[in-house]
Amino acid sequence: MGSEERRTRVLEAIVRDYVSHREPVGSRALVEKYRLGVSPATVRNDMSVLEDEGLIAQPHTSAGRIPTDLGYRTFVNSLQIIEPLSPSERRAMERLMDGAVDLDDVIARAVRLLAGITHQAAVVQYPSLNKVSLRHLELIGVGDLHALLVIITEAGRVEQRTLVFPEPVAAATLEDLARTLNNEWAGKSLDSLGSSMPEHLAPPVEEIAQAVSAVVESALRAEGEERIMLAGTANLSRHHLDFARSISPVLEALEEQVVLLKLLGAMQDGMSISIGEENQSDGLSEASVISSTYDVDDRSVARVGIIGPTRMDYPGSIAAVQAVARYLSEILSAH
């Protein structure tokens, strides 16, 4: 084994041991536990090199070493294979996710499940309106001059908006228009409806159809449309010793949905991990965020993930996030 390979193994051993026990790791313990095949003196030399490279640190004189943010990042980047969830975890996931009745129920079950598996705070982002297709819309007359527009997406998300007409519109006219629009728009992305307006509509009906399209576009642009659901925030109190300064900034960041949405939006497609100072929020500078996109009908629509201290089980957490993202994709695509 070359020195580079051995130092990689030493770093991995320090990360795994520190994550398991939250105690600085010494050279003798590494040699005895991980069978590195070299003397403690050689391991101490390797640890000195890793420390010079900024991958580990010594919190106290004569103490062992702990990983730095860069050390965790290097460890995560070196992971080759992520072990799947255990059979019991998969069965528990199937039992909890089966039987969900609507989008809110699916999201709520998924976020509770992920928090329970990882013992961290979990977050699920609702499918973004501008990334999903239309399943169905309804136009319901409310008096002569108003109508309720109900938008139902393929992901099961339901949005309601009110239309106001300058002149009375008959309920039968609204029903006929809704039927026509559904025939034309069902299955198309919401952001493309304005460019696929049905042809040969009579002028009053055409104006209503244009108003419907404008309301959908407005819904896409409206601030606050992006939503998330959190669970397991109390789990972080079990890890309060892992936050050197205080757990309060982390909890405050979790309360600010705008902060989380911005962070999730900045993460790369697919599986993405942000560690410590890599997070754009100062409140999460001692935390790690592991998230993955999930799909509806093979189109990435939102993210699911966890937030916890940098001292976390990265392989197990990655596996859990991947599994929940896969179940979300399957369930929402089947709706």
Strand 66-67 to 56-57 pairing: antiparallel
Place 74 in a pLDDT band, splitting at 50, 70 and 90.
very high
Q: What is the pLDDT of residue 163?
A: 92
Tokens for 155, please give them: 């992901």
Listed residue (48, 44, 9) closest to 28, CA to CA: 44
Is residue 241 scored above 90 in pLDDT?
no
Residue closest to 132 by CA, chosen among 258, 298, 257: 298
Say if CB 146 and CB 164 are below 8 A apart. Answer: yes
pLDDT tens digits along 105-162: 999 999 999 999 999 999 999 988 777 888 899 999 998 899 999 998 888 888 899 9
Please count the residues of the chain.
335
pLDDT at 223 over 50: no
Q: Are 183 and 190 in contact (CB under 8 A)?
A: no
Q: In order of start, what are the domains of the chain with their CATH numbers?
A: 3-78 (1.10.10.10), 87-127+226-334 (3.30.450.40), 130-221 (3.30.390.60)
pLDDT band, very low/low/confident/very high, at 286 (cuts 50, 70, 90): very high
The one-letter code for the residue type at 230 is L
Average pLDDT rounded to a whole number, residues 14-25: 93
Q: 64-68, 103-107, 218-222, 278-282: which range is least confident on average?
A: 218-222
Q: Is the pLDDT of residue 301 over 70?
A: yes
* Adjacent-strand bridge partners of 136: 152
**312 CB-near residues (< 8 Å, 6+ apart):** 19, 118, 120, 288
DSSP E strands: which ranges in the chain? Answer: 56-57, 66-67, 121-125, 134-141, 146-153, 158-164, 228-231, 272-275, 287-296, 299-309
Is the pLDDT reported for residue 225 higher than 70? no
